[in-house]
Amino acid sequence: MKKTRKRRNTGRVTLQDVAKYAGVGSMTVSRALRTPEMVSDKLREKIEQAIQELGYIPNGAAGVLASGQSNIIAVLVPSLTDKASATFIQSLQQVLNKHAFQVLLGCHEYDHNKEAEIIMTLLQSNAAALVIFSSQLADKTYSNISHINIPIINVAGSHQQQTAINIETDFSAAAYTLTEHMLNNGRKHIGYIGAQMDNRLRNQQINGWHKAMLHHYQNADQNITTSDTASMQFGRQAVTEMLLRQPELEGVICSHEVIALGVIFECQRRLLKIPADLAVACLEGSDNCDHTQPTLTSVRIDYPQIGRDTGKLLIKLLNQQSEDEAKHQNNQYHLFSYKFEPRQSA
């Protein structure tokens, strides 16, 4: 048999090319791919050989249109390097893999002007569901997608945008609780250092810190923020600037663990004792906080568990509910947890 040349217009081997190479009809090849038990072993082996030799890749989109089913879950995240996003995606994918679903990932890198464009691109894959993680969509974007006939899952996002499932994390309450914890341990002059503040959800953190400070009749003007990615270098620079502004600074609340580590390293360089001279705490910490000396007080949001629960709820929703039920159900799951190490803020 002479090998069929690939089509020039796309460079992609088609189902018709495979049929011609194997000497069978296109419907036979299609049947062998979709319902192989309906094709004889000899014929199926012949078709599989043709597919392998030609390098044919089935058109998934065409299969979705034919069957009306999709195994793709579209997921929008704010960053590929952010630890929260990475751990959430990993846990979500582990659950979905067990049910033959695959994640199609889109990332806006905190550029809200690209959110709508990326979501529309994701939805062109005929996804079975859309998961939006740690994002607060513009009202226009949310309005555009609220009428699509697939479940939309809002994870760690704005509670004002009601979708099939809303899994909330109250960043303002986390910051308020952590700041109050430090205030109750005798600290009065407490600053806030935050990164990625172009994310509207991040602003909830500084609002929580500000509210706690004012509630305890303390000055809330010591804050340094950036729209850039969190880093140790930013933490070192920010605490240096804060100490110049307010030498009597007694505590610092950081938006990210990596910023808090930068603050700690700068304090060590300056021979400042933690927590005696300066208490340091962070929001969205991890188990790494247990290995600093002294241990780093932190809020722990269990993103791996949130990812697993999102996957389980999503599978249940897709398997058991009609599209109409999925669109109108409103489940609120509060999976916000935190852990304190009082030694740091005492």
Q: Where along the chain do its domains lie?
A: 15-58, 70-170+304-340, 171-300
Helix (H) or strand (E) holding 206: helix 203-215
- Cα separation, 39 vs 166, in Å, equals 45
What confidence score (pLDDT) does residue 302 get?
A: 86
What confidence score (pLDDT) does residue 9 get?
A: 45
Determine if the pTM surpasses 0.75: no
Nearest to 22 by CA among 50, 48, 41: 50
Residue recorded with tokens 């609120």: 332
Task: Indicate the angle between helix axes 257-269 and 232-245, nearest 10 degrees.
Answer: 60
Choosing among 3.40.50.2300, 3.40.50.10710, 3.40.50.300, 3.40.30.10, the CATH entry for 171-300 is 3.40.50.2300
- Cα separation, 101 vs 95, in Å, equals 9
Nearest to 313 by CA among 127, 57, 73, 110: 73
Task: Indicate the angle between helix axes 303-320 and 83-97, nearest 10 degrees.
Answer: 40
Residues 295-304 pLDDT 10s: 999 988 888 9
What confidence score (pLDDT) does residue 210 get?
A: 96
Choosing among 3.40.50.2020, 3.40.50.620, 1.10.8.60, 3.40.50.2300, the CATH entry for 70-170+304-340 is 3.40.50.2300
Nearest to 98 by CA among 339, 331, 323, 319: 319
Q: Which CATH superfamily is domain 15-58 in?
A: lambda repressor-like DNA-binding domains (1.10.260.40)
What confidence score (pLDDT) does residue 88 get?
A: 93
Residues 6+ apart with CB under 8 A from 243: 249, 270
- Cα separation, 191 vs 206, in Å, equals 10
| Mean pLDDT of each 10-residue bin along the chain, 346 residues long | 47 81 87 81 87 75 52 89 88 92 88 82 86 80 76 75 72 92 94 84 88 95 91 96 96 95 96 95 89 89 90 86 46 45 44
Q: Residues 309, 333: contact at Cβ < 8 Å?
A: yes
Burial class (CB in 10 A: 0-12, 13-18, 19+), 122: buried
Which DSSP string do the residues of 319-338 spell out, in sequence order?
Answer: HH--HHHHHH--EEEE----
